[in-house]
Amino acid sequence: MPTYKAKGLIIKSYRLGEADKIVKIFTPDMGLISAVAKGAFNMKSRFSGRLELYNVIDCEFSQGRTLDIVSQAEILEIFNGISGDFLKFNYTQSLSEMILKTQSEKAASYNLFKLTYLVIKKMNNIDDSNEVFLQMLLIFFMINFSKIMGYAPMLKCCTVCGCEMLKNPEIFSVKYGGTVCRSCSSGKSGIIFFNDEEMHLLTGLLSCRLEELTDFKVSYRTSSRILDLMAEYVSFHSEINLSSLAYLKKIHKNIV
């Protein structure tokens, strides 16, 4: 049976039968890998503690008929600050959902893996569940995800007529992929109006580096609105439904 090795981040796992576990691993060189770890739930399994969600692992796989089989696994890094924190876990789930719904099996995307790894690591290392900063991290991920996928929001010119925006843009269209001038926005559906703080956050996150996120001081209302916008934007242009974000909105009123 042919074998191969890969390093990656576990972004989904679930039980198969009584003792086996399915893992979905996002790797830099092979994209998504779905594999079964036989006997992973047995008390004396050699995989005990190794194939947990958001562990970074080095695996050896055997090729199977329908699913590849995990034959060996070694832990490279553990992000245990996520699994024990309700907010961190659910925001990270939203990120994972985007990968799972847009990436193909064994189709490499090094830049997307690097982005995913760095954002999850940052989420893990936050001292407490600062929800505004968690939202900023997810917005940052969505913006850079859209860049990698080839549909980053355009903010410097009108996406309908192409005219340069001579002052700070304030009108946005998900459908047209960015800002729209006042003339072109007239009569169009789905037009979104921003205040200065909201547009400052969106334009700033479009060009900032991950380590610069702490420089932004915004309200929960602002970060929530831009997160909703980017969720709608990614959903529309990737043609997916981000159900995990809907769940976050549903539970939010019970934890703030």
Q: What phi and psi, each to the nearest 5 degrees, are found at residue 193?
A: -100, 135
Assess whether 126 and 223 both reside in one domain: yes
Helices within the chain (DSSP H only): 80-83, 86-102, 110-125, 131-149, 182-185, 196-207, 220-238, 243-252
pTM of the model: 0.92
CATH of the domain at 60: 2.40.50.140
Assess whether 26 and 57 both reside in one domain: yes
pLDDT higher than threshold 70 for residue 11: yes
Assess whether 49 and 107 both reside in one domain: no
Burial class for 238, CB neighbours closer than 10 Å (0-12, 13-18, 19+): middle
How does residue 165 score in pLDDT terms, banded at 50, 70 and 90? confident
CATH of the domain at 89: 1.20.1440.120
H/E run at residue 66: none
Sign of the CA dihedral with 137 first, then 142, 148, and 152 last: negative
pLDDT higher than threshold 80 for residue 249: no
Q: How many domains does the chain have?
A: 2
pLDDT higher than threshold 80 for residue 1: no
Assess whether 98 and 155 both reside in one domain: yes
Assess whether 158 and 237 both reside in one domain: yes
Q: Which tens digit of pLDDT belongs to each residue from 182-236?
A: 899 988 888 999 998 999 999 999 999 999 999 999 999 999 999 999 999 999 9
d(CA 142, CA 226): 11
pLDDT higher than threshold 60 for residue 253: no
End residue of a domain, out of 59, 78, 97: 78
Q: What is the pLDDT, as a whole number, of residue 235?
A: 95
Mean pLDDT computed over 21-25:
96
End residue of a domain, out of 26, 46, 78: 78
Residue type, 131: E
Assess whether 108 and 182 both reside in one domain: yes
Assess whether 178 and 138 both reside in one domain: yes
Mean pLDDT computed over 108-134:
92
pLDDT higher than threshold 80 for residue 58: yes
Angle between the N-to-C axes of helices 110-125 and 86-102, in degrees from 0 to 180, rounded to the nearest 10: 170
| CA of residue 111 relative to chain centroid, distance | 13
Q: Are strands 171-173 and 68-77 parallel, antiparallel or unpaired?
A: unpaired
Residue type, 175: K
Q: Give the number of other CB atoms < 10 A from CB of residue 200.
A: 15
Assess whether 139 and 67 both reside in one domain: no
End residue of a domain, out of 78, 98, 114: 78
Assess whether 141 and 224 both reside in one domain: yes
Residue 7: domain span: 3-78
Assess whether 68 and 111 both reside in one domain: no
Say if CB 64 and CB 52 are below 8 A apart: no
Assess whether 92 and 52 both reside in one domain: no
Assess whether 23 and 116 both reside in one domain: no
107 vs 98: which has the higher pLDDT: 98
Q: What is the pLDDT, as a whole number, of residue 113?
A: 97
Mean pLDDT computed over 141-167:
92
Mean pLDDT computed over 152-174:
88
pLDDT higher than threshold 60 for residue 162: yes
